[in-house]
Structure 1
Amino acid sequence: MVRSVQQLRSDVACARAAGRRVGLVPTMGALHEGHLSLVQAARDECDMTIVSIFVNPTQFGPHEDFDRYPRTMERDLPLLRRVGADLVFAPDRQTIYPEGFSTYVDPPAVGQPWEGQCRPGHFRGVATVVLKLFNLAGADVAYFGRKDYQQARVIQCMVEDLAVPIAVRVCPTVRESDGLALSSRNRYLDADQRERALALWKSLLLARQLVQGGERQAESINGRMQQRLIELGVDRIDYAALVDPVTLQPVARVQQRTVALVAAFVGQTRLIDNLEIEPCSS
């Protein structure tokens, strides 16, 4: 594990001098099998795999869970050794945001709806820290999970708009056997909440079932998703919507590949999920 920028850059420079392809997996720690699948994807494609662990304060709102977000470094490091990560970069706050830091990345348009409205400033913090990690690590490829679909689109657009010399890979969501998407925040859930959290996945499956059954009106499907979420016990819904997979703007009719997005609270825990839906050919 390295904490200094100088050591990180030295190690990456040695890898590059040897002609090695470098992959980066940015995380906030509290690792689960979803994160480890990203590490494996990086190992499959690259010669050197870097995992960053940094709980980024600027992507949390004033009343969100920054202070209680799980910090499990002693558990995370053995997991990363097990899957073969070559280097763990774990900077402190001063390294990423030194005294006087005042430059932030304004997120692209794709970050304005949904999470952008529900968590003001969130994607500003995400885009800023990710761009800084890209600059520090100098990797060839970066790996992100599809569960955070809108975040992945924000990063893809930022890379394209700012001509950042890195490829972005978005890897499949990893789920429990009953469909619950893996998330570091799942550990907040008690047994009852864990069961109710399945409402997100079941609402997405309902949306897919309706589309494949011939329903095309997004308003009707969105309403059915929200109804299913309520029936299965979520405490609050932020959104349940069908959107264009590129722009993330809401669609009126499902005529081509569409993404269903959902965000809801179970107890005090906010969870998100998504599912790509293809209408059946007529």
Structure 2
Amino acid sequence: MFEKAVYIHSIASIHPSVSEPADRIPGTRLKAEEPDYKQLIPNVGARRRMSRIIRMGVAAATRCLQEAGEAMQPDAILTATGLGCLEDTEKFMNSFLDNDEGLLAPTAFIQSTFNTIGGQIALLLGNHAYNNTYVHRAFSLESAILDAALLLAEGKASRVLAGSIDELTDTLFAILARFGCWRNAMAGEGAAFFLLADQPSAASLAQLKAIDMISSPEKPGEAYLHAFLKRYHAEEATILYPEEYKQYCGEYPTAMGFGLWYACRQIQEKGLPAVLLCNSFLDNHSLILLKQV
């Protein structure tokens, strides 16, 4: 599907605990285990001004670049989110009520925009390269990866930082619970970033082979999955279904980010030749095919 090979050089994820999930049942709320931000965001002033989702996104991006083992500037920064900075959005909307629709502080509004995380990453890196944010609900990360693949194929970039972020607030959890969204799922959140490149290296974790996105009330069946694998000559691939990794991260629009991190770890730790990563969120279904380098 990609005109030019895309390699994953480094990965980083902030997510709920991946310990034994046996005690997790539908309706459970999983919270991301956040790192010591002082180590990843040393600028005290900047760190204090960031909301929780921005800290998670910036920290995951910083860790991803550190994992690459070199001081470098990406040629592009792509971020993806399903619902954006909800906490700041809620603060801004509540300020309408608290101030009787009068004079409002602009901070929460400024930090509530979807591209805030990508902007913060660029500011801290001093990066002036191409910077874009995708807000396509369950297809957000997939869209960012496709953009990265195009940049690499066209020679406009050689290394692209791409990632996804979504947070779970009390308000969102309560509203979606009223709609019955947690009857068969656990609520989750997380941030995951990937350094993508057009050339392999000794440290490359996997090669991205193909992406497929389907909007349908029905999930892709086994016949569809196997036909997809046959199309890309990857019949030996291990199929990683959503329930196999969402038992650790929970359900949220960009859970594919954790899934991609998890699939890369499986390839590295178990020596799997290929993995077909599947995701479903509401009526949106996507597939990502990874191969061992």
Give the TM-score normalised by the residue count of structure 2.
0.28
Give the TM-score normalised by the residue count of structure 1.
0.29
Structure of higher RCO (CA pairs closer than 8 Å, 6+ residues apart): 2
Q: Which structure has the highest helix share of the two?
A: 1
